[in-house]
């Protein structure tokens, strides 16, 4: 797995990140499917340890990764595709202000079946001040946990 991530990153098709919280592994985030040319886009996938879920760790990681993609890497569009029943992951993109674009029926093969996914997206023009700055400005001041 690590070899594959390194090869894809080296080829410019993926940006794998480890997410830490207080010096410990808390999750993982990957910008994958990076496409250049007239598209300049990628999609983000993530997971978080349930011990730190609800503390803003993954929204912060997603915002940092999106800002890096828009400002340093040169991407124009980022998508996040989420299974409709995955409410915690949907909450992440809602917190960050991703736009819901619709349903992709039978989009990915997971657990032995083709699963529907909702697609959320954001373009660089939608966050000229940066996604992290926008989220910090708009998020509630009190932590959930």
What is the tens place of the pLDDT at every residue in 47-59? 999 999 999 999 9
76 near 123, Cβ under 8 Å? Answer: yes
User: Quick check: is 66 in a domain?
Assistant: yes
**Is 12 a member of any domain?**
yes
**Is residue 95 situated within a structural domain?**
yes
How many structural domains comprise the chain?
Answer: 1
Output the six-digit token pair for 40.
């300049």
Supply the pTM of this predicted model.
Answer: 0.91
Q: Is residue 121 part of a domain?
A: yes
Q: Is residue 144 part of a domain?
A: no
pLDDT tens-digit map of 17-44: 999 999 999 999 999 999 999 999 999 9
Could you tell me if residue 84 is inside a domain? yes
Residue 86 domain-assigned?
yes
Residue 145 in any domain: the answer is no
The parent domain of residue 106 ranges over 2-138
Higher pLDDT, 47 or 1: 47
CATH of the domain at 15: 3.40.630.30
């Amino acid at each position: 797995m690590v070899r594959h991530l390194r090869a894809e990153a080296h080829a410019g098709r993926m940006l794998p990140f480890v997410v830490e919280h207080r010096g410990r592994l808390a999750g993982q985030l990957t910008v994958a499917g990076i496409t250049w040319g007239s598209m300049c886009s990628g999609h983000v996938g993530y997971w978080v340890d349930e011990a730190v879920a609800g503390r803003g760790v993954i929204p912060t990681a997603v915002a940092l990764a999106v800002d890096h993609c828009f400002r340093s890497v040169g991407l124009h569009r980022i998508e996040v595709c989420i299974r409709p029943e995955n409410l915690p992951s949907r909450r992440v993109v809602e917190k960050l202000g991703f736009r819901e674009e619709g349903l992709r029926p039978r989009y990915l093969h997971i657990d032995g079946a083709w699963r529907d996914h909702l697609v959320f997206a954001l373009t660089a023009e939608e966050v000229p001040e940066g996604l992290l700055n926008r989220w910090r400005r708009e998020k509630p001041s009190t932590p959930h946990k």
